[in-house]
Structure 1
């Protein structure tokens, strides 16, 4: 029987995971996500860390891309399978807790990914793991725990773990991809964005226009600083900036460890994104290829591992 979590979290819970929290996500996708929340939650204005205001505007839905490899649902497992390979999709914005094990409504939860990864590693019939990634990134909360567990499993020398960029693995999604043994994608694959951003809402102008006055009574000078109902003060802005900088430093170390490049090289990308051959030249991907070819390389590694196990008996 297919096992699922408690279901999608309310929009307010998703908002708590994305607002005033460090994010590893492409800026334009952050804007689109917050604008969607804006409509659901009635937010008037959203400001980025550099105080750029984002107001409501038309949004286009992004259609999912299908891969070459066959996908099957194996009843009783939390993950899809194709032969001896566990296929784990990472689609849309990444959040800490989303409940569903499959990506839903343009979001994927680290909780579901963790469950699938652990189940695939324990399953004796599974010889390898394939992450099918089409994500601009998302929340930092929950990311590092998942990546550290993934890195530990990758280093154990057990099952090969491949990342297929179909067609985007940026920010938090790239942190996951970079921890895999191999990263492949087509020439149009977009990877990188090794950095961090944060969004803060300021509704003071709207409150003034509506004739609403908010009085904050606090015990402790720093209590409730960063609230949307008062102007962002310099101390809080500095704390937000320091938090973003710290996340970027840790992100660069994760990429350096997984991809075999230096931390300085990862930082030198300045959180930009790169496509295809340029990403390969920078060491962010292993090769530009088709999904079918990448899948064939994984099957070759599976066969090689089987031969080595037989010869070791």
Structure 2
């Protein structure tokens, strides 16, 4: 009966969308496409606003723009590379976020800005202050890479370091009768701690302190290089804060004090007579992605988010695609393998991990590419940790940003026993089981018994050993050495390079250059770029959304999201998280940003 009602619901929902929503969407896409083709003015200022947040990769779903998504790191890098060679673009104006930006994304954007400046063009950055929350040091690092760094007169320079917050539920669970039963391999697999502890364990504190120090030190060194001061002097000035805008100017932390309108006027003056400001997204849409030219191609395969088994509907259909579905990503790699023009694959990974089975399915496709004679180069984004490292481990070459969070070679799993907690509210939970003794092992009504706990621990051990074996084979390290540097510990890209988990520091451009080298494509020969998975057409996306009637409920949640219903959006996030943290083994790293 439930399936019948879902089927009816799917039919009516589909009719409503087809007759009402879809025409509106298609008209909006057509209008947006026509608008994006307007000519770029002869003297153009590109305005890049980083305050709305960015993803690592652009979504392939054509309806994602209706979910409020903004730019992606790769889109920014790609568009700036095209703007370097566009004689009409004279100046880049960057609006900086007050509360920071993901450190690895900041590394990549800084590098793109430096290449833009190296082409002889000017960059003006404007900030409405730097707040003492999150990775504001990464936002400042981007600003420091500009030709001029402005700050509003009433704003404060409150950046004084790097901070991260952790929420521990151990005492609350104990108070309310929730029994958290987990296995972790090993002490640095800190995602479990939020359920079992009330404070940092020594290992948790050690690991977080180490990667935070690495990110902070790297950002200061980069900013000092761009500001032409010593890292020691810059650090002393920053940590002496907070500062007013006038004091920040006196200490040479910024270059000018002024409103954003004044910065815009200066940018237009620098660009030349009749200069106009064009929003970065509009210019990016008019240019499209770099395709290159030539008989040989490099495939760029992308995956972002938690790694799950399956296909298609792992994310809000109107959102940016916040999960990696193993069938889809493996198929994308196999498509690149079968394309005779593709000589090498750059695999962009931005993931905290997820299912070990899904990770192994994707890694098998990477192995197939190498067996077919197509080198695979990993380009790590914000994260490539746990399962994200699993799928990267056997590539020919790994490139990461200094601030990428990677490693986390470990595994955890378990359950929350809720019977006692619910009993306090007069809710009784009972369990019935048919079959073997392990059938109810993950029941939330009772704790593991001794035999179930031992069997589950053994499965966790097997997954951990499989992870170690893949890293050992891929990185050509003895298993004992991998165990020594693994134990679930998160490393930054800079740290990972020093211990052999990463080959090179850099971003997508460095990964493409390495892929060209491994494929033996001469430097003076043009090369094409082919992107996988390919972007879906609006009708293909709709077909996928309504392919089975059981998807109707998720579609309704998606509609709620497009209407900015916070409860619906929260439901999507909960569903995704629960799938990623399902019972059994999980290779999912903690996400401190």
Worse-superposed segment, 238-247 or 82-91: 82-91
- Distance between the aligned counterparts of 1:236 and 1:211, measured in 2? 28
Aligned residues: 250
- Distance between the aligned counterparts of 1:297 and 1:201, measured in 2? 46
Matching residue of 1:257: 473
- Distance between the aligned counterparts of 2:444 and 2:349, measured in 1? 34
Gap change, CA 1:198 and 1:82, over 3 Å in 2: farther
Q: How far has the Cα of 1:247 moved from its partner?
A: 0.3
- Distance between the aligned counterparts of 2:367 and 2:291, measured in 1? 22
- Distance between the aligned counterparts of 2:178 and 2:378, measured in 1? 37
Q: Deviations over 1:42-94 (max 9, x none)?
A: xx968351586739xxxxxxxxxxxxxx99989xxxxx976622211121110
- Distance between the aligned counterparts of 1:233 and 1:279, measured in 2? 39
Matching residue of 2:424: 209
SS at match of 1:179: coil
Structure 1 residues 135-154: aligned runs within 5 Å: 135-154=351-370
The answer to whether the Cα contact below 8 Å between 1:195 and 1:251 also exists between their aligned partners in 2 is: yes
The answer to whether the Cα contact below 8 Å between 1:45 and 1:53 also exists between their aligned partners in 2 is: no
Gap change, CA 1:217 and 1:178, over 3 Å in 2: closer
Q: How far has the Cα of 1:272 moved from its partner?
A: 0.8
Gap change, CA 1:236 and 1:292, over 3 Å in 2: same
Gap change, CA 1:215 and 1:299, over 3 Å in 2: closer
Structure showing greater radius of gyration is 2
Matching residue of 1:275: 492
The answer to whether the Cα contact below 8 Å between 2:333 and 2:369 also exists between their aligned partners in 1 is: no
Matching residue of 1:295: 512
Worse-superposed segment, 90-99 or 45-54: 45-54
Structure 1 residues 124-273: aligned runs within 5 Å: 124-156=340-372, 158-219=373-434, 220-269=436-485, 270-273=487-490
Q: How far has the Cα of 1:289 moved from its partner?
A: 2.7
The answer to whether the Cα contact below 8 Å between 1:46 and 1:199 also exists between their aligned partners in 2 is: no
SS at match of 1:227: coil
- Distance between the aligned counterparts of 1:184 and 1:46, measured in 2? 41
- Distance between the aligned counterparts of 1:186 and 1:136, measured in 2? 15
The answer to whether the Cα contact below 8 Å between 1:93 and 1:136 also exists between their aligned partners in 2 is: yes
Matched, 1:92 2:308: no
- Distance between the aligned counterparts of 1:292 and 1:266, measured in 2? 29
- Distance between the aligned counterparts of 1:169 and 1:212, measured in 2? 41
SS at match of 1:127: strand
Q: Deviations over 1:252-277 (max 9, x none)?
A: 11111111111111111212121233
SS at match of 2:480: helix
Gap change, CA 1:262 and 1:104, over 3 Å in 2: farther
The answer to whether the Cα contact below 8 Å between 1:132 and 1:165 also exists between their aligned partners in 2 is: yes
The answer to whether the Cα contact below 8 Å between 2:379 and 2:507 also exists between their aligned partners in 1 is: no
Worse-superposed segment, 87-96 or 204-213: 204-213
- Distance between the aligned counterparts of 2:291 and 2:482, measured in 1? 33
Matched, 1:107 2:320: no
Unpaired runs of 5+ residues, structure 1, are 6-30, 36-43, 56-69, 75-79, 308-313
- Distance between the aligned counterparts of 1:128 and 1:259, measured in 2? 19
The answer to whether the Cα contact below 8 Å between 1:186 and 1:291 also exists between their aligned partners in 2 is: no
- Distance between the aligned counterparts of 2:508 and 2:438, measured in 1? 52
Give me the TM-score of the superposition, normalised by structure 1.
Answer: 0.69
The answer to whether the Cα contact below 8 Å between 1:167 and 1:185 also exists between their aligned partners in 2 is: no
More helix by share: 2
Q: How far has the Cα of 1:218 moved from its partner?
A: 3.7
- Distance between the aligned counterparts of 1:46 and 1:217, measured in 2? 20
Unpaired runs of 5+ residues, structure 2, are 1-59, 62-165, 170-176, 184-191, 197-283, 525-593
Gap change, CA 1:52 and 1:159, over 3 Å in 2: closer
Gap change, CA 1:250 and 1:81, over 3 Å in 2: farther
The answer to whether the Cα contact below 8 Å between 2:308 and 2:323 also exists between their aligned partners in 1 is: yes
